[in-house]
């Protein structure tokens, strides 16, 4: 011990201790970290191939508007035609392509939702009776999923950005539906209506309906995360992942719950109620009045 | 009055009442009171019967509704709102909807009856207006009707504001804005009404008292007055055969009209119940509790407030600030002006018409709309004015459902608000005059018989026949305008009513009312070609 105490007072002792600590950390880290060098090398060859495939798909389907390097394009007056896709992330690509909005047919106030193009249509029917047909459909679906994944990976490789959420993050079963309702009414209902039926916005834009089964929880999450078109971005500080899950739970439960009072009249509020009251209610009562006044008593003393 | 007598079982209790109330034979006599028959006379009855349904279902709802803004945490059976903080009013409405047996049905019947109540009043008022049934001596009943519709609007607004859901809270926020926009006293009225800053604790209990006590009481009184005046003045009748200004033609109250109106009550009740059972209305659980920081797209009021909503939506954002005060024309004008024009105009109309036409006689037989072109055209212009504002109140729904730009709808309504009523006036007046010409033609030349005649020189022509008596009576009910008295008599002295600028205006309006009237009258002798075609005697004897 005496020797150590003596060395401790040498001028180089401090440096020696720091060096030893760094070496120890390095050794421990090397021991804990997975030895993936070889696997990485192998899959990076695969990844490079996928990226190349993604780029091919990009060039074929997207580059005509977004530019060969995804830098975006402008018209002669300098107004943007299509935005730059550098940094938009995989989530944005997944949302736009899986909802069929991209590739867009024609530029307008807003690009509408439509059936995705065949190369990216991951929601095709596969439950055919005929095994051959089913196998083909499943193959096509798998191919579409692969295409979409490669395209996402390619665009993400251009500059990062939000990732596609994991399945657990969008599961409507796990969300707090009461909280979701509150968040939805405060943040979403002013455009999408209180039950997500959609609504009109300024300048020919509109908030699309969220009440259809084709709007998947993943798409809802991605829309909040990336803020497509007229929608604002709700990043993870504005709405935490838990909040987003709650909103998804509210939307899915609301669209699945039956109307306890009978026909919901589109669930868009008093406009359809007034219409039904006037057309059907007053209409039926006028018919009843006509019927009643057309009735003549059979026998009545002469008046 | 009919000669029909009621059986003893009916007569005896009436005689009992008459004997004891000193009403001589009032009840007995009135069993036989005659009511003219026409489907449009039943429109007002929808309002009466839905009012009864409103009283009954409303009483049921008061048993569970708690008019309180106390904050509670919901733990009822609607799972999607469990653990949410809300007012007691909202929680008790959820309780009525989901935990009280038959509660949701009653709520829905109540709300649908309110929709039908207001709709039928409006339909009834349109019928009264277009047939001229508001004319002397019935101006007071017309005014009471306008008063009831206005009170009904308030009653409805207060009623759907009670549950304190997101939609009704939005409506109250607008109510607050309207109160505040009144110059000088606005803020005082708002603070007095809400008892403090919006929304405060007081508004729901206050609206509740007005909704279940004061306004229904006033309405009940007005309904009674309306019915009694109608009973005393007798119902107007359509211009049909046997009906004259002196004699009512129709069925006696007992047994015919009583059965008809009783059946109609059951129809109204049935339709309210069917709607309540099968069509969802005001799903407050979907709207969520009121939160001043939240709002939904598609926030519209019930239909009868839609015209105010529309006026507010298309109004440009005009505000004037002077000497530290702001006058918000952007809220004040839409809140007061359009309904002021429609209701004020409707209330003044019978008196204006009397003044312009100089017609101070009693009228018991209705006019056909075509025979009063200026009145009908003014009515349709008002309908257009109201209808456009009403549609503008739903402009975001229209934009969304019909895929048009929201701004485009706003500008469409801003333009048609001014142009539409004028176009409607001109077009309607031309249609009325065209129909008058057709009537004159039917009376003057008869109706086409479908019989082709050949004259001795080989010409073909269709034989015209006299119209049926029933048809003739209806057509000849038109009162042709008499030539206007000259403004100055032979000695150059002006007639009493034509002096001064007011008299001048009256003369001008009177001319506008009558100048293009088409006389419809029977000629004693057929003239020219007509006689030739009909070939003399036979055609007059052919009857359908």
Mark whether B339 and B241 lie in a shared domain. yes
**Residue list, annotated binding site of A:** 62, 65-66, 188, 191-192
Range of the domain at B5: 1-31
* Cβ–Cβ gap B297/A292 under 8 Å: no
Mark whether B78 and B57 lie in a shared domain. yes
Widest CA span of chain B, in angstroms? 97
Three-class DSSP labels, B16-32? HHHHHHCCCCHHHHHCC
Mark whether B17 and B118 lie in a shared domain. no
Phi, psi of A273 (to 5 degrees): -65, -45
**Residue list, annotated binding site of A for heme c:** 62, 65-66, 188, 191-192
pTM (2 d.p.): 0.87
How confident is the model at residue B287, as a pLDDT? 93
Q: Contact, B68 vs B209, CB < 8 A?
A: no
How confident is the model at residue A280, as a pLDDT? 96
Instruction: Give the whole-angstrom CA distance, residue B93 versus residue B104.
Output: 9
In a domain? residue B110: yes
Match 């943007």 to its residue by tokens: A80
What is the rounded average pLDDT for all residues in chain A?
A: 86
Mark whether B21 and B61 lie in a shared domain. no
pLDDT tens per residue across all 544 residues of chain B:
445 567 788 888 888 888 888 777 777 778 888 888 899 999 999 999 999 999 999 999 999 999 999 999 999 999 999 999 999 999 999 999 999 999 999 999 999 999 999 999 999 999 999 999 999 999 999 999 999 999 999 999 999 999 999 999 999 999 999 999 998 898 999 999 999 888 889 999 999 999 999 999 999 999 999 999 999 998 899 988 888 888 888 888 888 888 999 999 999 999 999 999 999 999 999 999 999 889 898 899 999 999 999 999 999 999 988 888 888 999 999 999 999 999 999 999 999 999 998 888 999 999 999 999 999 999 999 999 999 999 999 999 999 889 888 999 999 999 999 999 999 999 999 999 999 999 999 998 888 888 999 999 999 988 888 888 888 889 988 888 876 667 677 787 777 767 788 888 888 898 888 888 888 888 765 544 444 444 444 444 433 4
Closest partner residue to A268 (CB to CB) among B2, B277, B298 is B298
Q: Which of residues 227-266 of A touch B (CB under 8 A)?
A: 250, 253-254, 257, 259-265
Tell me the torsion sign for CA atoms A49, A52, A57, A62. positive
Mark whether B221 and B158 lie in a shared domain. yes
For chain B, the 3-state helix, strand and coil shares in percent, each to the nearest 5, are: 65, 5, 30
Mark whether B206 and B66 lie in a shared domain. yes
Residue whose C-alpha is closest to residue A86's, from A151, A153, A161, A152: A161
B-chain residues within 8 Å CB-CB of A295? 260
Match 């309540």 to its residue by tokens: B276
Could you give the residue ranges of the DSSP H alpha helices within B455-499? 469-475
How confident is the model at residue A35, as a pLDDT? 58
Q: How confident is the model at residue A89 (pLDDT cuts 50, 70, 90)?
A: confident
Other beta carbons less than 10 A from residue A230's beta carbon: 15
For A231, what's the count of Cα atoms within 13 Å in the CB-facing half-sphere? Answer: 26
In a domain? residue B74: yes
Interface test with A, best of B46, B85, B271, B279 (most A CBs within 10 A): B279
The CATH label, of 3.30.70.120, 1.10.760.10, 1.10.3720.10, 1.10.10.10, for the domain at A165-259 is 1.10.760.10
Kindly state whether A11 is in contact with chain B, defined as any CB-CB distance less than 8 angstroms.
no
Long-range contacts, stretch B128-134, CB < 8 angstroms, 24+ apart: B129/B346, B129/B349, B129/B375, B129/B379, B130/B369, B130/B375, B130/B376, B130/B379, B131/B40, B131/B236, B131/B238, B131/B366, B131/B367, B131/B368, B131/B369, B132/B363, B132/B366, B132/B367, B132/B372, B132/B375, B133/B236, B133/B366, B134/B349, B134/B350
Give the tens place of pLDDT for each residue, A218-263.
999 999 999 888 899 998 899 999 999 999 999 999 999 999 999 9
Residue finishing a domain among B367, B387, B418: B367
Domain ranges of chain A: 45-164, 165-259
Widest CA span of chain A, in angstroms? 139
Instruction: Give the whole-angstrom CA distance, residue A54 versus residue B393.
Output: 49
Its ipTM equals: 0.89
* Cβ–Cβ gap A295/B260 under 8 Å: yes
Q: Contact, A217 vs A252, CB < 8 A?
A: yes
Pairing of strands A199-200, A206-207: antiparallel
Instruction: Give the whole-angstrom CA distance, residue B478 versus residue B11.
Output: 41
- Domain A45-164 annotated CATH 3.30.450: no
Other beta carbons less than 10 A from residue B9's beta carbon: 7
Mark whether B99 and B204 lie in a shared domain. yes
* Cβ–Cβ gap A200/B80 under 8 Å: no
Could you give the residue ranges of the DSSP H alpha helices within chain A? 2-8, 13-32, 37-61, 63-66, 89-98, 131-159, 177-187, 189-192, 217-226, 241-256, 270-276, 283-294
Instruction: Give the whole-angstrom CA distance, residue A54 versus residue A254.
Output: 37
In a domain? residue B345: yes
Mark whether B20 and B150 lie in a shared domain. no
Mark whether B88 and B11 lie in a shared domain. no
A-chain residues within 8 Å CB-CB of B295? 189-190
Bridge partners, A73 (sequence order):
A82
Q: Contact, B472 vs B462, CB < 8 A?
A: no
Length of chain A: 303
Do A45-164 and A165-259 fold alike per CATH?
Answer: yes
How confident is the model at residue B529, as a pLDDT? 45
Locate the chain A residue with the closest alpha carbon to B123: A282
For B359, left (φ over 0), alpha (ψ -120 to 50), or beta? beta
Q: How many domains does chain B have?
A: 2
Instruction: Kindly report the nearest CA distance between residue A258 and chain B, in angstroms.
Output: 11
Interface test with A, best of B159, B298, B389 (most A CBs within 10 A): B298
Mark whether B102 and B217 lie in a shared domain. yes
A-chain residues within 8 Å CB-CB of B43? 286, 289
Instruction: Kindly report the nearest CA distance between residue A256 and chain B, in angstroms.
Output: 12
Locate the chain B residue with the closest alpha carbon to A268: B298
In a domain? residue B18: yes
Residue whose C-alpha is closest to residue A147's, from A43, A41, A62: A62
How confident is the model at residue B534, as a pLDDT? 44
Give, for A80, the enclosing helix (H) or strand (E).
strand A80-82
Residue A241's alpha-carbon distances to A24, A172, A232, B109, in angstroms, are: 38, 12, 16, 42
In a domain? residue B2: yes
In a domain? residue B167: yes
Closest partner residue to B279 (CB to CB) among A109, A257, A262 is A262
For B290, what's the count of Cα atoms within 13 Å in the CB-facing half-sphere? Answer: 28
Other beta carbons less than 10 A from residue A23's beta carbon: 10
**Number of alpha helices (DSSP H) and beta strands (DSSP E) in chain B:** 22, 8
CATH code where residue B64 lies = 1.20.810.10
Contacts across the A-B interface (CB distance below 8 Å): 203
Instruction: Kindly report the nearest CA distance between residue A218 and chain B, in angstroms.
Output: 21
Bridge partners, A200 (sequence order):
A206
Task: Name, in order, each residue with C-beta under 8 angstroms of A193's C-beta and a sequence gap of 6 or more.
Answer: A199, A207, A267, A268, A269, B296, B297, B298
How confident is the model at residue A37, as a pLDDT? 58
In a domain? residue B402: no
Mark whether B170 and B23 lie in a shared domain. no
Residue whose C-alpha is closest to residue A188's, from A102, A246, A237: A246
Mark whether B318 and B235 lie in a shared domain. yes
């Amino acid at each position: 011990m005496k020797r150590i105490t003596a060395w401790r007072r040498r001028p180089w002792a401090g440096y020696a201790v720091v060096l030893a600590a760094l070496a120890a950390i390095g050794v421990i880290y090397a021991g804990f970290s997975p030895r993936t060098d070889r696997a990485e090398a192998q899959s990076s060859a695969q990844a490079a191939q996928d990226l190349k495939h993604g780029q091919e798909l990009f060039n074929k389907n997207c580059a005509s508007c977004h530019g060969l390097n995804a830098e975006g394009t402008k018209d002669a007056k300098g107004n943007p035609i299509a935005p730059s896709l550098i940094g938009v992330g995989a989530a944005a690509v997944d949302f736009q392509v899986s909802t069929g909005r991209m590739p867009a047919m024609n530029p307008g106030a807003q690009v509408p939702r439509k059936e995705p193009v065949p190369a990216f249509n991951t929601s095709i029917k596969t439950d055919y009776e005929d095994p051959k047909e089913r196998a083909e459909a499943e193959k096509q679906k798998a191919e579409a999923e692969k295409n979409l994944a490669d395209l996402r990976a390619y665009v993400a490789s251009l500059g990062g950005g939000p990732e596609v959420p994991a399945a657990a993050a969008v599961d409507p079963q796990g969300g707090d539906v009461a909280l979701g309702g509150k968040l939805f009414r405060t943040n979403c209902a002013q455009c999408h209506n209180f039950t997500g039926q959609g609504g009109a916005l300024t300048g020919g834009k509109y908030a699309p309906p969220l009440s259809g089964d084709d709007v998947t929880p993943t798409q809802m999450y991605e829309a909040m995360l990336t803020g497509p078109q007229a929608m604002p971005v709700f990043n993870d500080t504005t709405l935490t992942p838990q909040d987003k899950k709650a909103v998804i739970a509210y939307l899915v439960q609301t669209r699945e719950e039956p109307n306890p009072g009978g026909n919901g009249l589109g669930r868009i509020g008093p406009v359809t109620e007034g219409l039904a009251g006037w057309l059907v209610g007053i209409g039926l009562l006028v018919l009843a009045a006509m019927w009643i006044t057309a009735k003549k008593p059979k026998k009545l003393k002469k008046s | 009055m009919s000669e029909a007598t009621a059986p003893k079982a009916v007569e005896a209790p009436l005689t009992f009442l008459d004997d004891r109330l000193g009403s001589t034979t009032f009840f007995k006599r009135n069993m036989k009171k005659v009511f003219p028959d026409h489907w449009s006379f039943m429109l007002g009855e929808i309002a009466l019967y839905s009012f009864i349904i409103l009283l009954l279902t409303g009483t049921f709802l008061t048993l569970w509704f708690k008019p309180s803004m106390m904050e509670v945490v919901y733990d009822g059976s609607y799972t999607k709102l469990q653990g949410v903080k809300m007012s007691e009013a909202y929680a008790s409405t959820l309780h009525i909807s989901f935990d009280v047996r038959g509660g949701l049905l009653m709520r829905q019947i109540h709300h649908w009856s309110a929709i039908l109540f207001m709709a039928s009043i409006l339909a009834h008022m349109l019928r009264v207006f277009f047939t001229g049934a508001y004319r002397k001596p019935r101006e007071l009943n017309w005014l009471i009707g306008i008063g009831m519709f206005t009170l009904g609007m308030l009653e409805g607004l207060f009623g759907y504001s009670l549950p304190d859901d997101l939609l009704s809270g939005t409506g109250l926020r607008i109510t607050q804005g309207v109160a505040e926009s009144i110059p000088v006293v606005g803020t005082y009225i708002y603070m007095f009404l809400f008892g403090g800053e919006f929304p405060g604790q007081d508004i729901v209990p206050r609206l509740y008292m007005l909704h279940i006590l004061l306004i229904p009481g006033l309405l009940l009184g007005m309904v009674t007055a309306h019915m009694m005046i109608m009973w005393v003045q007798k119902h107007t009748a359509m211009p049909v055969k046997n009906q004259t200004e002196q004699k009512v033609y129709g069925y006696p109250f007992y047994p015919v009209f009583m059965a008809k109106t009783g059946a109609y009550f059951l129809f109204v009740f049935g339709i309210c119940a069917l709607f309540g059972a099968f069509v969802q209305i005001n799903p407050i659980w979907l709207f969520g509790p009121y939160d001043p920081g939240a709002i939904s797209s598609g926030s519209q009021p019930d239909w009868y407030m839609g015209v105010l909503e529309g006026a507010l939506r298309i109004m440009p954002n005009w505000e004037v600030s002077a000497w530290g005060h702001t006058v918000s024309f952007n809220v004040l004008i839409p809140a007061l002006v359009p309904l002021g024009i429609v209701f004020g105009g409707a209330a003044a109309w019978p008196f204006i018409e009397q003044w312009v036409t100089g017609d101070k006689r009693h009228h018991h037989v209705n006019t056909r709309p075509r025979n009063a072109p200026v009145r009908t055209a003014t009515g349709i212009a008002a309908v257009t004015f109201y209808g456009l504002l009403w549609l503008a109140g739903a402009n975001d729904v229209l934009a969304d459902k019909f895929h048009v730009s929201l701004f485009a709808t706003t500008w469409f309504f801003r333009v048609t608000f001014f142009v539409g009523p004028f176009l409607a006036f001109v077009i309607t007046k031309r249609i009325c005059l065209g129909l008058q010409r057709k009537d004159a033609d039917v009376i003057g030349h008869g109706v086409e018989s479908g019989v082709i005649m050949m004259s001795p020189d080989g010409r073909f022509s269709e034989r015209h026949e006299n119209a049926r008596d029933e048809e003739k009576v209806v057509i000849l009910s038109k009162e042709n305008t008499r030539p206007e008295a000259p403004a100055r008599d032979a000695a150059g002295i002006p007639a009493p009513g034509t002096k001064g600028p007011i008299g001048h205006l009256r003369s001008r309006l009177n001319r506008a009312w009558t100048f293009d009237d088409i006389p419809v009258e029977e000629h004693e002798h057929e003239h020219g070609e007509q006689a030739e075609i009909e070939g003399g005697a036979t055609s007059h004897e052919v009857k359908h």
